[in-house]
Amino acid sequence: MDNCLFCKIIAGDIPSTKVYEDAYCYAFRDINPQAPTHILVVPKDHVASIAEADKLSPEALCAVITAIGKIAAQEGLEKGFRVVSNCGPDACQSVPHLHFHILGGRQMADQMA
């Protein structure tokens, strides 16, 4: 999609630190990490948020979700990790391309919000 930051990252037009890629998804390190490990997992097809996940193929959805576990193992997050997907203004979503934050490498706060 034109003018989408994460579409440009997936296309290689904007640099990123890639940690994982397959036919359906791409994962890279967050530029402003909120934890020792902070990775974004995005479907290659553009949808704005998880509210539009029904526009993705079942294969793409499955790939994105299973990639999270693969990346966590790759990153050595055996003690655990948190997965967050902000959706819309109340959740402070800043990039309107569906993405899952993987946060790990430290004890997370007990409360989620």
Q: Where on the chain is the footprint of ligand AMP (CB under 6 A)?
A: 5, 14, 16, 30-32, 40, 86, 92-95
Q: Which is nearer to ligand AMP, 63 or 103 (CB)?
A: 103
- Catalytic annotation, pick one of 38, 46, 97, 99: 99
Is 99 labeled as catalytic in the residue annotation? Answer: yes
Q: How far apart are CA 4 and CA 67, in angstroms?
A: 22
Q: Which is nearer to ligand AMP, 14 or 59 (CB)?
A: 14
Q: How far apart are CA 45 and CA 22, in angstroms?
A: 12
- Residues labelled catalytic: 99
